[in-house]
Amino acid sequence: MIENLIAIIAGIALLVWSADRFVIGAAATAQHLKVSPLVIGLVIMGFGTSAPELMVSSLAAWEGSPAIGIGNAIGSNIANIALVLGATAIILPIGVRSEILRREFPLLLLVTGACGLMLLDHSLDRLDGAILLLSLLLLMVWLVQSSKRDGQNKPFSTEVAAEISDETPQQFSLREAMLWTFTGLIVLLLSSRLIVWAAVEIAHVFEISELIIGLTVIAIGTSLPELAASITAARKHEHDMAIGNIIGSNLFNTLGVLALPGLIAPGMIDPSLLSRDFLVMAALTLLLFLMATLLKGRSISIGNRSVTQKAIGRIEGGVLLTCFFGYLVLLYRQIS
């Protein structure tokens, strides 16, 4: 049992490190290949923050434990909103631009609702997975075209993408960049394999479902990159990047990560996933939208300027964190 816990902790640490190395290597490689900053920021960074969830879910499904992958996708979305955004808002208020309220938030609500309707039959088959994955590809194309057209699409704006691109180490040669990309990908694979093995063992020892393990331990662990990215962005007063990181990651999780178990290991899903976990995820998504919409403007720092803008502050952050720990208590009471 102790060995399994150590394996999960070590696997998550390696997972976070390798995802970071993979993103840096991939971004540096893209720069050498003259890929635009927009594509680097949108595709590579968007995939990078969701790489842990993507890798764990695909491996879990491949090894016959799709419930871990499904739980990871839903649980990560819950953790991103309630834990990551809640903790970030307690440290510093997070400003919300009107563009995000008009475009990205409604898009996330639409995707969440459509996914819920798809799962009403309590199954996730290959057709469902294909529809989700195709929707992700279409979304990527639309976001790239929108950003090119008006340059104002936050959180996927050219400005943000350029900033991310500028922070990529310029001293990397193409060979070094490709080496980091390959190394990050290999360690991602190995650490994901370690996590899935340990998670299945723990589920068997405690006689709890693999879904619960995916919803809790693995979901929280794979959300660490989002937590680090959001806190760093908030401290740098990059508010769009902080909240955009969460919206983008949840879109990737819902359309990309959730698609993998359906494509690799289609089958029925646990009824409690829809009646409990998906409802919590949808309610938190709606709560976050209402918070951002109904909030009054407050003074926040953006760069070297102080502006008045709608913001998610410490009170809202406390509410989100309370919801997260309340959800964990609910899970504990139902399995104890």
pLDDT for 86 beyond 80: yes
- Chain-centroid distance, C-alpha 10: 20
pLDDT for 158 beyond 50: no
pLDDT for 301 beyond 60: no
pLDDT for 39 beyond 80: no
Dump pLDDT digits (tens) for 96-122: 766 666 777 888 999 999 999 999 999
The C-alpha atoms of residue 196 and residue 202 are separated, in whole angstroms, by 10
The C-alpha atoms of residue 241 and residue 267 are separated, in whole angstroms, by 37
DSSP 272-303: HIIIIIIHHHHHHHHHHHHHHHHPPEEEEEET
State the angle between helix axes of 158-167 and 2-32 in degrees (0 to 180), rounded to the nearest 10. Answer: 100
**What does the mean pLDDT of the chain come to?**
80
Task: Give this prediction's pTM.
Answer: 0.81
Q: Residue 157 has what pLDDT?
A: 44
Domain borders along the chain are 57-155+198-335
Q: Where are the beta strands (DSSP E) in 19-141?
A: 94-95, 123-124
57-155+198-335: CATH topology: A middle domain of Talin 1 (1.20.1420)
Dump pLDDT digits (tens) for 235-260: 766 666 677 778 888 998 999 999 99
Q: Residue 153 has what pLDDT?
A: 43
User: Can the peptide bond before residue 93 be classed as cis, meaning omega within 30 degrees of 0?
Assistant: no
Contacts of 65 (CB under 8 A, 6+ apart): 196, 199, 200, 210
C-alpha to C-alpha distances, 26 to 59, 180, 192, 231, nearest whole angstrom: 22, 8, 19, 23
The C-alpha atoms of residue 109 and residue 101 are separated, in whole angstroms, by 11
- Asked whether the beta carbons of 262 and 280 are under 8 A apart, the reply is no
**Residue 156 pLDDT class (50, 70, 90 cuts):** very low
